[in-house]
Amino acid sequence: MKIFKATRKYEAWLRKALNVFEDDLVLKAQLLAQDPFTFLRGSFYRWMQLFPDICKKAAAAPVVLSVGDLHAANFGTWRDARDELIWGINDFDEAAYLPYTQDLIRLATSVELASETQRLSISLEKACDAILDGYRDGLEKGGESFVVDEDRDWLRKAYVKSEHQAEKYWEGLNQSPASEKEVPPEVRSMLKASLPSQGLEYRLVHRQAGIGSLGRPGLQRWRNGRANLSRWKRKH
């Protein structure tokens, strides 16, 4: 199946499952043509079609709960309930049970493509070594928060935006128009169940952002802060 047919079938399925913003799909098509890294970010549906055939041995690996659409741009920082600055994966739109190798291979592929567009400057060999070392370390420790502290000041410089940039980001979100699409009751139920505290007020807005799934975030206030529930998911 060619990419054009695969995309048409995916979008047809999407329209049946969701109230799709057609303008977002037009924008997405334009963004996908920019470069290979952007294409990878926005075409996880195609990746999952091809991965089992191209990576047969890897696809037969043990299945675990996976990120799915994992790539180099899906990492960032946020404040946890103790106000500690945490670094890690911040996008779980396509989380699913998949071979554990899928996340590792997709992340390494994204690093290689990002390097080609000069968004990252690291060799594929070094990237793969770092990914495997980090994965092994996480398994051995049983998983833990990656706190950005004085010992990881390099990470703070690489990922933490300035206060001015943060305020500009939230100003843009606050000015986004309210969503005109009716939200399915089951989606509202899942959204409320995923909130960090029950009874929080939130606002659903239409925002064109990201690549893989544009628009439909919600905004809420939590513990005197703000959170972006992008594409019906929790990000706090």
What's the rounded Cα separation, in Å, for the pair 106 and 98?
12
What local confidence, expressed as pLDDT, does residue 91 receive?
A: 84
For the chain, how many helices (H) and strands (E)?
Answer: 10, 8
What local confidence, expressed as pLDDT, does residue 212 receive?
A: 63
Smallest CA-to-CA distance from 69 within 231, 229, 236 is with: 231
What local confidence, expressed as pLDDT, does residue 232 receive?
A: 36
What local confidence, expressed as pLDDT, does residue 226 receive?
A: 53
What local confidence, expressed as pLDDT, does residue 228 receive?
A: 54
Query: Could you tell me the CA-to-CA distances from 225 to 79, 104, 201 in Å, in that order?
Result: 9, 33, 13
What local confidence, expressed as pLDDT, does residue 235 receive?
A: 36
What's the rounded Cα separation, in Å, for the pair 58 and 55?
5
In terms of Cβ atoms closer than 10 Å to its own Cβ (0-12, 13-18, 19+), residue 118 is exposed
Whether 229 contacts 191, CB under 8 Å: yes
pLDDT by position in tens, the chain (length 236): 889 999 999 999 888 877 788 888 888 889 899 999 999 999 999 999 999 999 999 999 999 999 999 999 888 888 887 888 888 898 888 899 999 999 999 999 999 999 887 767 788 999 999 999 999 999 998 888 888 877 777 777 776 666 566 677 777 777 777 777 777 788 778 777 877 777 777 777 776 666 765 534 344 444 444 555 543 333 33
In terms of Cβ atoms closer than 10 Å to its own Cβ (0-12, 13-18, 19+), residue 147 is middle
Domain residue spans of the chain: 34-160
What's the rounded Cα separation, in Å, for the pair 179 and 232?
12
Q: Assign residue 40 a region: left if phi > 0, alpha if psi is -120 to 50, beta otherwise?
A: alpha
Q: Are strands 96-99 and 75-79 parallel, antiparallel or unpaired?
A: unpaired
